[in-house]
């Protein structure tokens, strides 16, 4: 199965390091980061899960739950978590799905046969409270993910869902945003953006971030 932006993320039931997971029940009305790993006891994955754990408060501030996945069994996950906690000076308390039968990996398209016929690639999805897929990033197995970028995109998604704006190149939370071109009514613009805006071109209008 190939998931695309805007698709509904499939529901599933699977074992995890924290016990059985019924995905939709576990998600509730939260945003979710679901990310896959090629294998347990691998160096890049160890650093990724360690950083994810350290970013717990950052995800919670945004109403985001995190859940990882690899095709290794629960007992291996539990042993690996001990290593992650020790080497990364943290406590991993989010679930790692034990996808031994590759049911979830196949459902979400995490197995890329030309990269590996058995292991999952380093994929990451951001899923919104309506269970819609909002971001898909896939890295090669040799390259660790940039979690600053993941948080940045979540900030952008949550901002642009609630305001008539888009975020420009390299935008970070607190910086100016652009008014969407479809919004042309000046009265509505003044109401939505009381701090005003700068029109560089008719289609390129910068305004202070409206929720700051």
| Catalytic entry in 21, 33, 45, 179 | 45
At residue 30, the 3 state secondary structure works out as coil
Backbone φ and ψ for 127, nearest 5 degrees, come out as: -120, 135
How far apart CA 199 and CA 85 sit, in angstroms, is 50
Distance separating alpha carbons of residues 212 and 206, to the nearest angstrom: 15
Residue with tokens 């058995």: 118
| Two structure tokens written together for 45 | 């994955």
Whether 89 sits among the annotated catalytic residues: the reply is no
Please name the helix (run of DSSP H) or strand (run of DSSP E) that holds residue 162, with its range, or none: helix 147-162
Beta strands across the sheet bearing 177-179: 165-166, 177-179, 204-207, 198-201
* Catalytic residue ranges: 45
């Amino acid at each position: 199965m190939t998931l695309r932006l805007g698709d509904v993320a499939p529901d599933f039931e699977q074992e995890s390091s924290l016990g059985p997971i019924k995905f939709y029940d576990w998600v509730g009305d939260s945003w979710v980061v679901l990310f896959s790993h090629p294998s347990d006891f691998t160096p890049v994955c160890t650093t990724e899960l360690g950083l994810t754990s350290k970013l717990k408060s950052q995800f919670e501030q945004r109403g985001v739950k995190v859940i990882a996945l690899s095709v290794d069994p629960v007992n291996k996950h539990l042993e690996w978590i001990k290593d992650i906690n020790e080497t990364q000076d943290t406590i991993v308390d989010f679930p790692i799905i034990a996808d031994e039968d590759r049911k979830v990996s196949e459902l979400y398209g995490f197995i890329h046969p030309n990269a590996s016929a058995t292991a999952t690639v380093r994929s990451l999805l951001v899923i919104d409270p309506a269970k819609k897929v909002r971001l898909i990033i896939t890295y090669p197995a040799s390259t660790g993910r940039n979690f600053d970028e993941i948080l940045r995109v979540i900030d952008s998604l949550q901002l642009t869902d609630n305001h008539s704006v888009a975020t420009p190149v390299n935008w970070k939370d607190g910086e100016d945003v652009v008014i969407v071109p479809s919004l042309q009514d000046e009265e509505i613009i003044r109401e939505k953006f009381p701090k005003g805006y700068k029109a560089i071109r008719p289609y390129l209008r910068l305004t202070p971030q409206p929720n700051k």
